[in-house]
Structure 1
Amino acid sequence: MVLLLLFIVWETVAIKSGVPDWLLPTPTKIFYEGFDGWSNFYPHLLSTIQLSLLGFALGLLIGLLTAILLHLLPFIRESIYPLLIISQNIPIIVLAPLLVIWFGFGLLPKMIVITLVCFFPITVAALDGFKQTSNELKHYMIMAGASNKQLFWKLELPYALPSLFSGLKISATYSVMGAVISEWLGAKEGIGVYMTLASSSFRTDRVFVAIFAIVTLSLLYFSIIVLIERWLVRWQLKGAKWK
């Protein structure tokens, strides 16, 4: 209802004020362009979906492995963790041209961009989750003769799942943004390419079509992660209801 009200206000203000379409098109014209130009936009959308999912999967793998390594080896965490923070202070827009110089216009620099955007929230969330493990249960399992491997897989990792999914939600939405930025490095297809072409030709309606597509993809990824979380972390939801 809030979005519908926003579109109504937007439509009314744009029409009453006489703002030209190239400056601020109405939502009606944006949606019309989306439907009318769907055949041209669809390949770009599909390319971004494939790129974002591949980059997100790679970021998830690297982020989770990094978190496990830093958790199991605390002496490494003290030296590596500051470097992870520094990696997030480097603007991706500034780093992107360097990646093109170093690795060319292929898939590798695009994957590096998306991975840099995605892995950090997953790593931090997983590390925080590992720290939230119940000391009482941990002490009980040690008393029962559990090995370090059993402690990790049967106690620490399950306790970290709620925090891990919080990081996954952030990374899933960031993956779309990272894919669009990576497409500015010289891709042939993608929402980033579509947006660049539309902006250079003053087709503001197409720029908004690309923006709406990015927002929709981010919300879709977020919703999928929420559904997976509800399926995998059912024990936490049941415990919350019981309390």
Structure 2
Amino acid sequence: MPFEDVLKPFVIEVEPTEPERHGAVDLYLPDADGPRPAIVFVHGGPVAPEQRPTPRDWPVFRGYGSLSAAKGVVAAVVDHRLHAFDAYPTAAEDVAAAVELVRADPRVDPNRIAVWFFSGGGLLSAEWLRAGHGWLRCVAANYPLLATFPGWEIEPRFRPVEAVGESTLPIVLVRVGLERPEIAAGVAAFVEAAGANLEIVDVPNGQHSFDLLDHTDESRKAVELAFDKVLAALG
């Protein structure tokens, strides 16, 4: 995707919430009393280390963060270091640290956490699908990379298609109809391997990154429906 595309606005108009910055993690906080459930948003990649703005400042992730806060949920957007195809272990460490930071915040209910993956970040979902943490209530993924391309070597721990069959977590998959064939193949294998705990939100006319590229009612309804499913899992 051309870099200028990542600067396109989020498909839903939402009142902006200014996040708190904690190192590599931005927290979007709702105007609500008591500890709230939280969603950790994990961007895709690889993203070049010199690219500016970094993903947490892209309009799409500022949009997801603000929309979460408007719905009464804490959002965390993490700038992880998936700078190259061999950097998944480093990115995984960053995501795990972000989740721990979120759970330790007194404004968060540490027992109601969801992790939401996007695009190339989808491979990072495998470890969370296997984790079995009681406090992890949902794994979500938008147009995710769920299987590696032919000839691409990656550690077995980053294979969601193998992990999903072991998972009992609620899973929300946002699937686009105009997906790239090489990514769609992995999504199809993931769906076949998943159990009854998988819920699919289809965007038939959506392309990869529909939530910033396709400003349509279909896109907006898909984002809202995915949010509804994740919030239901959070309780």
**TM-score bracket relative to the smaller structure:** under 0.3
Q: Which has the higher helix share?
A: 1
Q: Which has the higher strand share?
A: 2
Q: TM-score, normalised by structure 2?
A: 0.23
Point out the structure with max Rg over C-alpha. 1
- Greater relative contact order, per chain length (Cα 8 Å cut-off, separation 6+): 1
Q: TM-score, normalised by structure 1?
A: 0.22
